[in-house]
Chain A
Amino acid sequence: MKYGHLIWVNLTRNKRRTILTALSVAAALFLFVALRSVNTTLNDAREVGSESRMVTRNAISIVFQLPEAYYGWLSSLPGVRRVTWGNWFHGIYRGNPRDFFASFGVDVDSYFEVYPELVVPEDQKQAFMRERTAAMVGTGLMERYGWRLGQTINLTSMIYSPVTEWPFTIRAVYTPLPGWTDEAFYFHYDYLSEMTEWAQPGWYVLQLDDSSHAATVAATIDEHYKNSRFATRTETERAFQTGMVSMYGNVGFLMNAVGLAVFFAILLVAANTMMMAARERTSEVAVLKTLGFSDRLLFGLVIAEAAAITLAGGLLGVFGAKLLFEGTGFQGAGFLPGFAVKMSTAGLGMLIALLLGLFSGLVPAWQAARLPVAHTLRRVV
């Protein structure tokens, strides 16, 4: 583009100002990408659940358990292919509540059939299923603590006993499919029930033959147990996940509100820069008009200059964030498993950078376009 050089020399006229402005845009977009990725990560967590799996839990609350005896009846229901169950162990490592990760006691025989997402080498899977005290651990968790296959580690449970240490031997390492956490810890439910009299299934997971029967199955189950001592609540796994994620509160709204404030703060910085730049060049604009540069062209040149600054800043902020978060494997200290900067987030970030450029250039560009030449020249000459 033949005007490229003209834009370039204007950008480099006050290098410090251009660079500082681009950097402040970069800071803003870094923040945007970080905040937005928190949102998309949480949203993805909602979508993890399958529509063809259902979760049956205690109607009062997830913190209450269900009798083991429910397994038989649930398995016999028409349309239910397989049933498994799990129990929330709330394990902590080294006795430190900060060394916390998702830990479950599961029925190992049925669990893999219901959760094909857990990709495990066959020999490790067999080793895990064979040994009563064996554990299966996600790749991320292995990395976090530098554990090795075959290593025995001790956990205490915040639910069953905060003082007793339970030894587990890592026999399998699973690689999660996309969206599944790589920081979970699975072990035998049988081991749990041996160690404590309190443990019962925390929830049942039902694999259906056909997801279109989900509503009917849920109604049948909940009706069946309605007047028992342990009433149930059955919903699809996706609905269940959504409920869990909503416990983070209204993060989305908070992030959007903050994002808006960031946008306006940086818009002010960028617009101020462009206005300062334009003010210094008033006479030059008048000269260009004398040479025959049209109002529209001058308008475009100022906007292009502003957009060049914000896009450069945007590139730095957006992809800097992406590289940084991916390079460090950031997971929000375990609160945001699967944290990632999506390409759609990066694209949106660049779009925002472009918008910042357009808006920040608007006032000075309009001023340049409307500049009365004769009056300006008289003032200057």
Chain B
Amino acid sequence: MKIPLIYNIRSVRRRPVSTLATALGMGLVVLVFIAMMALSRGFRAAIVETGSRENVLVVRSGADNELMSGLSRSTAQTIISMPFVAKGPEGRPLASPEIYVLVSLERLAEGDALVVARGVSPQAFEVRKDVKVIAGRMFNPGAPEILVGKSIVGRFAGTEIGETINFASRDWTVVGHFAAEGSAFESEIWGENEQFMPAFRGEVFQSVTFRMYDPADFESIKQTLESDPRLTVSAQREYNFYANQSVLLTQVLSFAAIFIAGIMAIGAVFGAVNTMYAAVSARAPEIAVLLTLGFRPLSVLSSFLMEALVIALIGGMLGCLFALPLNGIMTSTTNWASMSEVAFAFRVTPDLLLRGVIFALAMGLIGGFLPARRAARQPIVQAARRP
């Protein structure tokens, strides 16, 4: 015989303050959990989505980020002229040999931060289809003009169209803003590679990114490039290259999320245990009646567990409700792999909300078990006699 759920819901409603306090406590734990995971997810998404699976990124052998890489002009030329590099409508290879440097820009808020300045070929926007100029115009080849990623706009000085930014001892005119679907490119400044090269450190590119004719050929392309005696390079799918950069910080954030939420959960579970024990002892006579009527102890146990889960569910949903407004809020951090600042948004995804609710239910289950067991094991006579 099962004890109807409505019985628990009614009993929860009979103690609204206590129930709400317990649920709210769990809700705050869920909030912290979701918020920190959303931070980690947002950062990861920004970095990972920087790369495409159809592109190959080539750097100097052994370099795990572009900063440490260096490719000579002839190396870049050799790579671009390989047959597996896709061609554009005008027959030009869809490839971008790039300069990658960090420049120190003045934050509008306070202090300086390092920002990536990327010198790209005019084909870069065809190689990376997700990157689009959303305001102003493309830079003109041969001119000291730059495009600014949209997450930098408004956070650093001189980023509006028509303004100038000074780096590498030159003034650069902002002629447009670009978007890249939330990826880390949006935290960069793009100019023409042939303009950046002399302004920075001479005849070296940091990377070459190109589109493959057939993405399925990646393994053989990698093999060809890395075994070519003229080149000392390593080639990766662009997607994997950036995904690897997010691993460390994502791990740190996830660890912090689990550590912090885990310890908070201990506190909240103890609170739930208190509440449930109070519920059990307040209803000792009712339990006795149920047992006398022939309900099995297991039914009583599951009924009280159900009640704890109802409270936890309320808490979990409250936590989700609190966390929802975080979605999309922009924040920034330093990408430790490139030492540059990356802007990204909190990502509160449905699966994260689901995890939050499951987390709450787990707290309810753990917190409710001992009190529920006590209710089920209660001797009938003794309970019935209590006032």
Contact = CB atoms under 8 A, between A and B. Distances in A.
> A and B: direct contact (Cβ < 8 Å)?
yes
A265 B267 contact: yes
A264 B28 contact: yes
A226 B334 CA distance: 28
A20 B18 contact: no
A119 interface: no
Nearest to B113: A246
A159 interface: yes
Nearest to A248: B334
Interface stretch (B148-156, B223-231, B258-266): B258-266
Interface string A245-265: 011111000100110011011
A275 B31 CA distance: 25
Interface of A: 16-17, 20-21, 23-25, 27-28, 30-31, 35, 59-64, 97, 158-159, 161-163, 226-227, 231, 233, 243, 246-250, 254, 257-258, 261-262, 264-266, 268-269, 271-273, 275-276, 335
22 contacts: A23-B266, A27-B263, A27-B266, A27-B267, A35-B260, A62-B339, A63-B339, A64-B201, A159-B68, A162-B64, A163-B61, A227-B169, A231-B169, A262-B32, A262-B260, A264-B28, A265-B26, A266-B25, A266-B267, A269-B21, A269-B268, A335-B252
B331 interface: yes
A-B pairs with lowest CB-CB distance, top 4: A269-B271, A24-B267, A249-B333, A162-B62
A53 to B, nearest CB: 20
A250 B277 contact: no
Given A162-B63, A258-B32, A265-B264, A23 B102 contact: no
Contacts of B21: 268-269, 271-272, 275
A249 B339 CA distance: 11
B260 A243 contact: no
B369 interface: no
Given A63-B339, A271-B21, A28 B267 contact: yes
Nearest to B271: A269
B270 A23 contact: yes
B103 A60 contact: yes
| B interface bracket (residues with beta carbon within 8 Å of A) | 35 or more
B361 to A, nearest CB: 17
Contacts of A231: 169
Interface string B238-276: 000000000000001000000010011011101101110
Contacts of A248: 333-334
B273 A20 contact: yes
B271 A250 contact: no
A140 B85 CA distance: 50
A24 B268 contact: yes
A276 B32 contact: no
Contact of A273 (B169, B201, B274): B274
A232 to B, nearest CB: 12
Given A60-B200, A61-B114, A63-B339, A265 B334 contact: no
Given A28-B263, A61-B104, A276-B275, 10 more contacts: A60-B103, A249-B331, A250-B333, A258-B260, A265-B25, A265-B28, A268-B28, A269-B21, A269-B270, A276-B278
A25, A97, A254, most chain B CB atoms within 10 A = A254
A272 B274 contact: yes
A322 to B, nearest CB: 16
Interface residues of chain A: helix, strand, loop or mixed (majority): helix
Given A28-B267, A60-B101, A261-B31, A158 B334 contact: no
B17 interface: yes
B271 A24 contact: yes
Given A27-B263, A28-B267, A61 B102 contact: yes
A268 B25 contact: yes
Contacts of A275: 17-18, 21
A60 B274 CA distance: 59
Contact of B267 (A16, A233, A269): A269
B267 A60 contact: no
Contact of A30 (B62, B101, B103, B263): B263
A100 to B, nearest CB: 10
Contacts of A268: 21-22, 24-25, 28, 271
B67 interface: yes
B187 to A, nearest CB: 13
A265 B29 contact: yes
A24 B266 contact: yes
B18 A272 contact: yes
Contacts of B339: 61-63, 247
A97 B336 CA distance: 13
Nearest to B18: A272
Interface string B26-55: 101101100110010000000000000000
A266 B339 CA distance: 38
Contacts of B101: 60-61, 64
A25, A249, A257, most chain B CB atoms within 10 A = A249
B4 interface: no
Nearest to B333: A249
A254 B266 CA distance: 21
B112 interface: yes
Nearest to B26: A265
Given A17-B277, A266-B25, A60 B102 contact: yes
